[in-house]
Amino acid sequence: MRKRPAPKTPLFEVRHSRIHGYGVFALRRIRRGTTIVEYLGDRVSHEEADARYADKDPVDGHTFLFTVDAKTVIDAGVNGNEARFVNHGCDPNCQTVDIGKRIFIEAIRTIRPGEELAYDYRIGRDADDPADVDTIFACRCGAARCRGSMLVRRRKKKSPRKAASPRRATSPRRAASPRKLVRRRR
């Protein structure tokens, strides 16, 4: 008679979080590079996502919307899974990965059992944002280097350039890689 293999402990569970509402917590060690979960929900246009939440209180920045590209948004509030409960963190242990317009959450370092999963939402800023937008999207992650907001950092205004020294003129410059907008708000 063959023995059945013991069922593996799931990777994570959803429970109350000190960061915000519910969170996703590791139940066992998750190695760096592990794909943890796919972000699922209704795939809709930006216009449909805006229409669904048109009556939402403007000071409530909480949604389960994830921007895939210029045409598609995943609304995890409809047919979504546990991935919608992964909270924002300024010192994240996860990242989002786009594979064929499907969004996955992946570990960027080894995660210990009991640790809450988090990724940087990198919510974009708009020219018409209200003055209190940073308050609306305040971060509560508690990281030592928390930036205080789930929004991308404000761009610093360029100061007038000084004449370049010969050493600076000959040094190569690296282009900054653009950040991807990952959660919609409206």
What would the pLDDT profile of 72-103 be if each residue is shown by its tens digit?
999 999 999 999 999 999 999 999 999 999 99
Kindly state the helix (H) or strand (E) to which residue 48 belongs, with its residue range. helix 46-52
State residue 158's pLDDT score.
60
CATH annotation of 12-154:
2.170.270.10
Amino acid at 80: G
Give the helix, strand, coil percentages of the chain, each rounded to 5.
10, 25, 65
pLDDT for 117 equals 98
Residue 56 has pLDDT above 90, yes or no: no
CA distances to 83, 96, 133 from 58, in Å: 24, 26, 10
